[in-house]
A and B are shown apart, each in its own frame.
Chain A
């Protein structure tokens, strides 16, 4: 049993709670299914009720009744204000209406570039992953991208096996040089160990907060590149009992993501 389970919550619940606090009320958020969706549902049931969720398949501002399994399933436009097209949603993001995009990833580098395509060579991969899906579009077009993923030295790597979705590419100005919309890029990375952001000058990943019980050494050991450790690293705020109750009883009672467990 992990230290966190002893404290009465699971790692995914801490990650959802931490991610739910990263957006402001009134923001428009393009999200996928799974943990990002859970984090946004929690945000809307706690601190930021006026967030507008949009889904790439066409759901705009749904009132999600139960967790969707597919990112385009009927729950993603339940009591929505509009059920439209991928063209409309991605075009809207391209036009600057979407504040945040939420993504998962298999690998990430120090500039927040992510890989969800292959492990190993593309023509004969060791592991074939699903590919971009909407991730490249979200990472290219939303103002700020938030990545939620597991952290270890095989996932936080110096060099990606494949650059699926743009972070800051090769550093400051990289996105603009490539032709991507100005002033966009990765904003936060939430893992089971902490919350990271990006240094304004160098665009390199920078530690913001460590989850309770995690040391700087722990996070360094689980990062395959040099993570900037500023002097003002904080401790991530624990999920409240009320947040845990909402996550387990209201958002994911069937345990699709927040798995049923004995604690």
Chain B
């Protein structure tokens, strides 16, 4: 296949497919064993300084925020983040100094709420680098190639743009149509955290609502921690096997964290906490304000449960559930 051009971005998270197959054979836990552990342990065991990290979910939706707070508490450094529409997770990891390089799909913004004052400041001051650019489908298909054990996935995106020029993709001549085609390289993150609605002790996981990129990300990541709203009996999974999106052999650890997506949305369970988002967006306008946030909500608590108490506890969680179920109006305090 004739290669026409190549992006100049570094190829992050890539492995030769045979090297990856050997790694899987030697390292992935393919027996159906009980993988339950605590959040602290899962982060200390599976997240190392310098890792390429990918989070499941999308934007403020179904992201394992409890794991993000724990990574900051454990002071991980030099992480590279897959910015696959990474919003609050990216903003916090960049602002706290855990992440110094980002592969950018969508980052440094909070969707309708506006841009991220803090992580933008870090990039604009040169303290964090956007090393590679891609698109959301670019990420999706990096993970899909990896999930299929392929070196790349062909796609008709990115071509002709500066996004391509700053990507790690190539453009080649398709031997069948004779047309140009983008080759999206596989991506095997060192570690991924995916937050799900329920799973069993082995990690067989169900997600309610949109799955976004998580089926492929789960199969692509070398290490995968499932954080879950609830660990259910084995029978719950076995009674409806067509609902399992992530099978046990992809999973390295299972951590039960109710409300683990807070302050983000967990579809059908609780809506995003816009009051808390407005607080962060206001405080993070200055570096001192961002530090105040971390001191209070991350370093000032011993774990995620203490954080939940601090942000409003049961009463707040009930309110977010009512908003999610359309029993209470959605709020947008950042729009005032």
> Hey, which bits of chain A sit against chain B, CB under 8 A?
33-34, 55-59, 65-67, 69-74, 76-77, 83-87, 90, 94, 113, 117, 122-137, 140-141, 160, 162-166, 169, 174-175, 177-181, 253-257, 259
Contacts and interface: CB of A to CB of B under 8 A. Distances in A.
B293 to A, nearest CB: 20
Interface string B310-336: 000000000000001010011110010
A130 B106 contact: yes
Contacts of A57: 58-59, 61, 210, 212
A86 B139 CA distance: 10
Given A131-B107, A136-B135, A166 B160 contact: yes
Interface stretch (B10-18, B40-48, B69-77, B123-131): B123-131
Contacts of A136: 135, 137-138, 157-158, 161, 163
A117 to B, nearest CB: 7
A69 B113 contact: yes
Contacts of A132: 104-106, 133-136, 138, 163
A140 B59 contact: no
A130 B156 contact: no
Interface stretch (B29-37, B188-196, B230-238, B266-274): B266-274
A174 B331 CA distance: 45
B209 A77 contact: yes
A74 B209 contact: yes
Given A70-B265, A74-B265, 17 more contacts: A33-B111, A57-B59, A69-B60, A69-B111, A70-B58, A84-B211, A85-B213, A130-B109, A131-B108, A131-B163, A133-B135, A134-B136, A136-B163, A141-B157, A163-B161, A164-B161, A256-B112
B246 interface: no
A130 B180 CA distance: 28
Contacts of B271: 73-74
A130 B108 contact: yes
Nearest to A179: B180
| In the complex, the 8 A-B pairs of residues with the closest C-beta atoms, listed nearest first | A179-B180, A178-B160, A58-B210, A133-B106, A130-B109, A72-B58, A74-B267, A137-B137
A233 B133 CA distance: 39
Contact of A166 (B59, B124, B159, B209): B159
Nearest to B166: A122
Contact of B160 (A74, A90, A94, A174): A174
Interface of B: 57-61, 83, 85, 87, 104-109, 111-113, 115, 120, 123-124, 126, 129-130, 133-138, 140-141, 144, 155-163, 166, 171, 179-182, 209-216, 265, 267-268, 271-272, 274, 324, 326, 329-332, 335
27 contacts: A57-B210, A70-B265, A72-B85, A73-B59, A73-B61, A73-B265, A73-B271, A73-B272, A74-B271, A85-B214, A86-B136, A86-B140, A87-B141, A122-B162, A130-B108, A131-B105, A131-B133, A132-B133, A133-B135, A136-B135, A136-B163, A137-B138, A163-B162, A164-B163, A178-B180, A256-B332, A259-B335
Contact of B124 (A65, A128, A141, A179): A128
B106 to A, nearest CB: 3
B60 to A, nearest CB: 5
Given A140-B159, A254-B329, A73 B135 contact: no
Contacts of B105: 131-133
Given A72-B85, A74-B61, A133-B106, A140 B210 contact: no
B108 A94 contact: no
Given A70-B265, A129-B109, A255 B210 contact: no
B159 A179 contact: yes
Nearest to B210: A58
Contacts of A59: 210
Nearest to B215: A85
Contact of A86 (B137, B157, B330): B137
B85 A175 contact: no
From B60, B126, B161, residue with most partner A Cβ within 10 Å: B161
Nearest to A85: B211
Nearest to A69: B112
A65 B166 CA distance: 39
A131 B83 contact: yes
A10 B112 CA distance: 18
A248 to B, nearest CB: 14
Contacts of A34: 111-112
A131 B158 contact: no
B115 to A, nearest CB: 7
Contacts of B211: 58, 83-85
A254 B135 CA distance: 31
Nearest to A170: B160
B58 to A, nearest CB: 4
Contacts of B179: 179
Given A69-B60, A69-B272, A255 B106 contact: no
A164 B162 contact: yes
Contacts of B156: 94, 140-141, 179-181
B10 to A, nearest CB: 13
Contact of A129 (B59, B61, B115, B216): B115
Contacts of B209: 58, 74, 77, 83
B158 A140 contact: yes
Nearest to A174: B160
B9 to A, nearest CB: 11
